[in-house]
Structure 1
Amino acid sequence: TGHSFFHLIIGRSRRMQEAIDEVLSEEAFDIVQTEFTPMGCFSLTTDAVKILDAHNVEHDNHRRMSEHAKSLTRRLYYRREARRLIGEETEACRRHDAVFVTSAQDQSLFDALAPDVPKFIVPNGVDTDYFAPAPPASEPASLVFTGMMAYLPNHDGMLYFLDEIFPLVRREVPAARVYIVGSRPPAELLRRASDSVVITGYVEDVRPFVARASVYVVPLRMGSGTRLKILEALAMKRPVVTTSIGCEGLAVSHGESALVAEEPLAFARQVIDLLHDDELRKKLTRAGYDLVREQYDWSVVHRRVEEAYEEIRKRAFLQRIGRAHRGCRESQMAEHSS
């Protein structure tokens, strides 16, 4: 096949295309918004303004997956997917009048694919009323990570944490315990469960687990877009230790609103320091909470979406006026020459 398996699994459905065609033929819309680039493979026969909300840059995500693949077969597979996704994401961008991205990093990656399609940065957000500040941790030496664990970047990150970082933490903090919270953990991760490694599987509500912990860890080595989990942790006033990929695209600053570390020893050191230093935890959580309230609360993001919609509609209107004028001039020139 000439398509990536990623797109074949998610998109390329004849029944979906028929359903889209039916809806667009029955009703006129001002804006049609497509969620995620794999859905951008569908044709949109409409005069509405078409917006692609990208969420992630999948070709870059798969490139990163290839770098940490555990076998040559997987490494080659992810490289192949990345190459094919470049073409598919380029096509998806060009089918739309504008693209929403979650960060400047993603904007630059999509600009390289489709420079003529306008991009608008619309960050991910968090409901700061729902993810409200929690009281002090009920388990002072506990850590937490939340996410859909069948997703490769999540379980890869936690396997890396358990194998290379957590043992270093436990040397200095023997009572340390980590909660890995999220649905469909793979067998390779489940085998590592113990008294100090709690793997919950699916839970109705992640907030009690975040509230229980002293530190939120985000040891990701791959991924794309921006991580909602960090915004949720900061909104609940939990200090975060993350890799640079984990906080990519978010306006967090090392030493101010989070701690950022790449290597296992440095990551473990940051976790240990937070477990021992109450003042450092308070400093980070104050700054992190202020950050999400000012930049990432859904009310703030909503205003940015409305502003982007208005700007895109104005651009589309002016482009149509321009095309109409050019059409008139061409008709007049044709009549004059005849």
Structure 2
Amino acid sequence: MRMMGLKVAEKRSLNDDVMNERERALVISPEFPYPLTSGGTQRTFHILRALSRAHRVDLVTFSEHPSPEGWDVLSALCSQIHLIALPPHPKTPLAFFRRNLSRAIRGINPLVDRFADPTIRQAVNDWLAGHRYDLILMEHSWIAPYIEDIRASGNRGAFTVLDAHNVESELWRQYYRQPARWWTKPALYRYWQSARRIEQRYFDRFDVVLAVSPSDREKILRLAPRASVAIIPNGIELPPHRHDPSTGDRPPVVGFVGSLDYPPNHLGLEWFLARVWPRIAQRLPEAQFVIIGRGDRQRLKRLCRGQETVRLAGAVPDLTPYLSRMAVMVVPLRHGSGTRIKILEAWAHGIAVVSTSRGAEGLPCQHMENIWIADEASDFAAAVIYLLTDHATRRRLARSAYEEVQSYSWSVIEERLPAVLDRRGVARGQSR
């Protein structure tokens, strides 16, 4: 790995002459897309993999701490990997307060601000100036303003795609409208409006925007009616077989899987631990709750204090052993956009799911058919208790969900992607 100026690293892989004949594609990802530790990295990785089958792909990505493991995996898919190192943010409470006060005053939300830094943006411009592409795909709407840099570079003729993992303005709207400390409201409102302005200003400047679900597509079109929006759902790697959801003589295990530093996950877990799990533990004292995911666990540890049946497993190298022991997976999200890959993972492994309506949004969820939906704490707890004690219902939900998830295999979704990214298949005349 060779370090260049501003902590920019480049790694090249050897490609044969066949690669040189393919159309050139650039993927710009604000997240280093490996290992697959979040729904975002999973989606980016699989889209990158699908593109690499028909294109010569370069990857421009960002990270404070890139994983050495990721270089080898991504090099097998990419012609070139260009890493722009993000300067680490100080983690002290004072630094956090100053950073977010500045953002609130300027009216720019945190993720957009991170990638609007002039030094970071110039590094992207330097790369664009020296390379020409037929297709440019950007992951996440946080970097949608980079479309201006693309149009100003020698790549103005490239077919441009924005992969909208979420409708960010919808997330910030939900944060703003939740009960919160009064002094946070002005900042949350400004972040909401910042995300909304970006979506309204930039979405219709791309040749196509990818949405993860029909509901997200509708939200995007309300914000940018002239945008061309195609649906590419989230998917999963299907396991070779599903496990038996019976618990046998073992204590029943309830599980949660998700990034703990993603606010909807964290807020949902706080609600579940404070309002739902105590009811379950009182009724089924032998039940255990396991939380799996990377990120800061300190706030959750405080909530877990005194709850001996709760275990924080943190980041794990392989989910399979944990999933094989789960009787029920919970998705207690009360905020969110996009779709929950964790539900697809549970379905694929034959695990019954209890979710809020928000958590189930964007997927073909049918209450009491392939999932149990509950929004109030008492109803959520009752649903988990019922499924833990009624093996027949748990198996029925798991069996129906397993059948549903077969169409969400990444191998199936990746086959559909080239047609969506074919410029001949997109109606021209859309506003750029």
Deviation string 1:287-326 (CA, Å, 9 cap, x unpaired) is: 11111112x111221133222113x43436x559xxxxxx
Which of 17, 27, 31 matches 2:121?
Answer: 17
Give the aligned length: 316
Equivalent residue for 1:188? 299
Establish whether residue 197 from structure 1 lines up as the match of residue 310 from structure 2: yes
Q: How far apart, in 1, do the equivalents of 2:416 and 2:179 lie? A: 37
Which has a greater percent of helix? Answer: 1
Q: How far apart, in 1, do the equivalents of 2:180 and 2:312 lie? A: 22
Specify whether residues 188 and 283 from structure 1 end up closer, same or farther in structure 2 by C-alpha distance, changes over 3 A only. same
Query: Does the CA-based 8 Å contact 1:34-1:53 persist in structure 2?
Result: yes
Q: How far apart, in 1, do the equivalents of 2:107 and 2:142 lie? A: 11
Gaps of 5+ in 2: 1-104
Q: What is the TM-score when the length of structure 1 is the normalising length?
A: 0.87
Equivalent residue for 2:14? none
Establish whether residue 44 from structure 1 lines up as the match of residue 150 from structure 2: yes
Establish whether residue 116 from structure 1 lines up as the match of residue 226 from structure 2: yes
- Secondary structure, aligned partner of 1:265: helix
Cα drift, residue 203 of structure 1: 1.8
Equivalent residue for 1:33? 137
Equivalent residue for 1:54? 164
Written as runs of structure 1 = structure 2, the 5 A alignment for 1:156-305 is 156-193=267-304, 194-294=307-407, 296-305=408-417
Which has a greater percent of strand? Answer: 2
Q: How far apart, in 2, do the equivalents of 1:293 and 1:275 lie? A: 25
Gaps of 5+ in 1: 321-338
Q: How far apart, in 2, do the equivalents of 1:6 and 1:69 lie? A: 21
Q: How far apart, in 2, do the equivalents of 1:35 and 1:114 lie? A: 18
Deviation string 1:1-47 (CA, Å, 9 cap, x unpaired) is: 54413244432133443343344344432211110001111121321
Cα drift, residue 69 of structure 1: 4.5
Letter in 2 for 1:62: W
- Secondary structure, aligned partner of 2:363: coil
Specify whether residues 140 and 258 from structure 1 end up closer, same or farther in structure 2 by C-alpha distance, changes over 3 A only. farther
Q: How far apart, in 1, do the equivalents of 2:286 and 2:173 lie? A: 37
Equivalent residue for 1:147? 258
- Secondary structure, aligned partner of 1:33: strand
- Secondary structure, aligned partner of 2:138: strand
Equivalent residue for 1:77? 187
Deviates more, 1:65-74 or 1:14-23: 14-23
Which of 414, 417, 420 matches 1:308?
Answer: 420
Cα drift, residue 174 of structure 1: 1.6
Query: Does the CA-based 8 Å contact 1:38-1:89 persist in structure 2?
Result: no
Equivalent residue for 1:327? none
Letter in 2 for 1:51: V
Establish whether residue 4 from structure 1 lines up as the match of residue 108 from structure 2: yes
- Secondary structure, aligned partner of 2:426: helix
Q: How far apart, in 1, do the equivalents of 2:295 and 2:234 lie? A: 24
Query: Does the CA-based 8 Å contact 1:145-1:180 persist in structure 2?
Result: yes
Query: Does the CA-based 8 Å contact 2:109-2:190 persist in structure 1?
Result: no
Query: Does the CA-based 8 Å contact 1:220-1:245 persist in structure 2?
Result: yes
Deviation string 1:166-219 (CA, Å, 9 cap, x unpaired) is: 122123212121111112244221113332111122222222222211100001
Equivalent residue for 2:242? 133
Equivalent residue for 1:333? none
Q: How far apart, in 1, do the equivalents of 2:425 and 2:263 lie? A: 40
Letter in 1 for 2:211: V
Deviation string 1:226-258 (CA, Å, 9 cap, x unpaired) is: 111111111111000000100100011111111
Letter in 2 for 1:158: L
Cα drift, residue 135 of structure 1: 4.0
% identity of equivalent residues: 31
Q: What is the TM-score when the length of structure 2 is the normalising length?
A: 0.69
Cα drift, residue 149 of structure 1: 0.7
Letter in 1 for 2:189: R
